[in-house]
Structure 1
Amino acid sequence: MKSKEASEWVKAMNSQLKTHANNGSWTLIRRAAGVRPIGCRWVFAKKRNEHGRVVRFKAQLVAKGIKQKFGVDFFETYSPVANMNSIRVVLSVLVAKSYV
């Protein structure tokens, strides 16, 4: 990295990797023969306060999901995430109908 802020970006990347390690988000394994893993890349963002000053450097390691093949190991390679508003609506309906 040749940016003036390179040290800040490296700190943000290390923080992201440490978070993954602490959460047990992944496990390093040997690649099986004939298997092409899904790649990943870094996405960087500067978080600013109301005055426009940078308050945080954020780095996220994201999967290149476009490399997936539909229907092949779909549930092993994709983790669906529910919207919190949807969960609240379902819980509200359950309570209103006295199911809970």
Structure 2
Amino acid sequence: MREEFNALQQNQTWTLVPFHPSQNLVGCKWAYRVKYKSDGSLDRFKARLVAKGFHQQEGLDHNETFSPVAKPTTIQLILSLAVQNDWSVTQLDVSNAFLHGHLQEDIFMVQPPGFLNPSKPQHVCKLKRSLYVLK
């Protein structure tokens, strides 16, 4: 969890601002996953901070919902081009991917569980970048 939290802070995902009652707060929670090596043995435990996006209201908190992903057919096409043209292909494992741009709407989230800022306990996070599950 510490590694994910540090990555979120390093990428300036949010700033702490005073809470105002007019703000629609989005919750968050830690999602845990077991990562395995290619041979099936245990590699590590991964924690990811996810937003509780179901608290958002369309038109008020967001207008569109989409996530840029590559379709399997696109990946197959690129791999077949690499084979045909004798290109080298390298597989990457990105530990913290920040693929989404800056947010255009003001979205406020509670401070992550276990990482409450002791000097600003009543503040909330104003998101500058998107989190997982955020609409």
Normalising by structure 2, report the TM-score. 0.46
What stretches of structure 1 of length at least 5 have no aligned partner?
Answer: 1-12, 89-100
Structure 2 CA distance for aligned equivalents of residues 14 and 52 of structure 1: 25
Number of aligned residue pairs: 72
Structure 1 CA distance for aligned equivalents of residues 58 and 18 of structure 2: 24
Structure 2 CA distance for aligned equivalents of residues 34 and 15 of structure 1: 33
The residue number in structure 2 matching 1:52 is 40
The residue number in structure 2 matching 1:82 is 68
The residue number in structure 2 matching 1:32 is 20
The structure that has the greater radius of gyration is 1
SS at the partner of 2:9? helix
Moved more, 23-32 or 59-68: 23-32
Bigger proportion of residues as helix:
1
What stretches of structure 2 of length at least 5 have no aligned partner?
Answer: 75-135
Structure 1 residue 84: deviation in Å?
A: 4.3
Bigger proportion of residues as strand:
2
Question: Structure with the greater relative contact order (CA < 8 A, sep ≥ 6): 1 or 2?
Answer: 2
Q: Give the partner amino acid of 2:61.
A: D
Q: CA RMSD for the aligned pairs?
A: 2.2
Structure 1 CA distance for aligned equivalents of residues 20 and 14 of structure 2: 16
Identity of aligned residues (%): 31
Structure 1 CA distance for aligned equivalents of residues 65 and 27 of structure 2: 16
